Chain A
Amino acid sequence: MRYGLIFLFFFFVIGQANSQLKNDRCFVCHGVKNFGVIEQGRFKSLYVSREEFESSVHSKFLCVACHVDVRVIPHFTKPKKIHCLQCHFEGNTVGAPVTAKPEKYKESVHSRAIARGKNAPDCKDCHTVHYVKKPEDPSSSVYKTKIPELCGRCHQTVRDEYYSSIHWAGIQRGVLESAVCSDCHREHDILPPEDPRSSLNPKNVVGTCDKCHSDVKLMKRVGVPVKNPEAYKESFHGIALKFGVVRAANCASCHEYHDVLPSRDPKSPIHPANLAKTCGKCHPRANENVAKGKFHILPGEKEAGIVYYVYTFFKWFTLIVLAGLFTHIVLDLIGHFRRKRKSVE
């Protein structure tokens, strides 16, 4: 009998949860636009857009599935802070997808700054709290075109630099393959350039730019020469860098990074008028002479001009010398062995 009563009580509790804690009940208050509280003398909105929430990846979930400490509605205490990893952990029962991203994030500069007690973003600052959407969704907070603004909420100077770059111009023209912050800095495992694993480490910069700039189709579509990275890798700078001489120039040394501009732009560090200054960063005697010539061209390409003709001449000359000497040697040997045979006879 006593056990029966406890059993009944449980049914009652579960029944109440099911009938009373549906999202409808939450939105009675939280769905009102100017619903909020005064906290430390400032108004804090507690409004959640129902429409936006219901188009998010969590639309099927109950509010209380995350806010687990809300058991009766209306609740009179402030719910505890919740964290994404409440669900997104290995072996969770609610079917929350588990990826390596939180683990990657833990290594990042942002996570480490939080650990030192500094103000830095974690999941919710980029993905939002209630409106988490897939990055492919144009209304997502992490949709490609929104990323510069998102990062720029903290990194304002960099954002403004970026907004003058050709990459942002590309995004604005609708070329979504153009680079935003996360394409170079990565999304979750953002590491400082000093870290050898960082995409911005001098040894990895070429690979970072190369991801897009060696894509033949893409580069053809946007009208950017695709052979440049390849020619760079064969240059003195490229080879030295490959063997760990990090003081050798990488892409960013000359092209800058946030405000990358094509050479036709007079503001670009690789505009012919600015080259003396750009090369002069490492080569102190550089003057306007450094602009008299071509860049990122292999000697075997016709655009290389005189270098191409010298290269081609030597290629053929070497082959002719090779063939000539070889013939001479073979004739010598044939003669030698014939005479030897004769003398034996």
Chain B
Amino acid sequence: METGKKILRFSLSWRIQHFLLMVSVILLIITGFALRYHDTWLGRFLIFIEGGFEARGTIHRISAILLFITGIYHLIYIIFTSEGRHEFIELLPRKKDFKDFVESFRYDIGKNERPPMYGRYSYKEKIQYWAFFIFFLIMTLSGFVLWFHNYLFGIFPKWFFDLSQALHSATATLIITFLVLWHLYLVHLSPGNFPMNSSFWHGYVSEEWLKENHYLEYLDIKNKESER
């Protein structure tokens, strides 16, 4: 373990939200994947360990409720708590993010000597947040239509259900792509985080890590400390 000071980067509420999101999304992906690839050995195996075809659907729906609760929790968090409002403002995209993207590209190909200085959330993390924001909306809406098709049959035309189904499955593929490539890279495989950035669990990062990866946030914390 690295020696040196530890800094609390994620509050308990943030970590609970992440944990709920992680559990529900993993369950949704496993059970959804089983249905989508039902005619492959992996799909059949997953359906088997999920307790059969109908149990698979039940687990998927329970996980969906969990995800929905997480979404509501997050909404309340970013609207009604000052911490949440602050986090949300930090996550909003701004001009600097586009500049950072170009700078980081130049740094990677060797044109720049120093990496861009990131605030609390770099453009990489913002992409992640907003991608999941949109995924959440598409998946809960289309999933709702599919789940309650029996109640909505009288309201929407048939093609609307076909569309929901196509959207639900296409977005799911996109989410898996995104999670495997981007999230896995950012917090597990990227140099400096390998094998896992464990701050999602206890909330702490080392001062060194913060200085290297989120320099502006680091400065901000230092300034606040010296003000005291």
Contacts and interface: CB of A to CB of B under 8 A. Distances in A.
Interface of A: 236, 239-240, 242-245, 279, 283-287, 289-295, 299, 304-307, 310-311, 314-315, 317-318, 321-322, 325-326, 329, 331-336, 338
Nearest to B155: A289
Contact of A318 (B108, B160, B162, B177): B177
Which secondary structure dominates where chain A touches chain B?
helix
B132 interface: no
Given A239-B38, A289-B158, A299 B166 contact: yes
Interface in B129-186: 149-163, 165-167, 170-171, 173-174, 177-178, 181-182, 185
Contacts, number: 106
A321 B159 contact: no
Interface stretch (B9-17, B46-54, B195-203): B46-54
Interface string B47-91: 100001110000000000000000000000000000000000000
Nearest to B169: A299
B185 to A, nearest CB: 5
A307 B150 contact: no
Contact of A243 (B47, B171, B190): B47
Given A304-B162, A305-B159, A325-B181, A317 B153 contact: no
Interface residues of B, number: 41
Contact of A239 (B35, B162, B174, B177): B35
B159 A317 contact: no
B110 interface: yes
B105 A331 contact: yes
Given A245-B54, A322-B177, A331-B105, A311 B170 contact: yes
Contact of A311 (B150, B156, B166, B190): B166
B75 to A, nearest CB: 26
B71 to A, nearest CB: 22
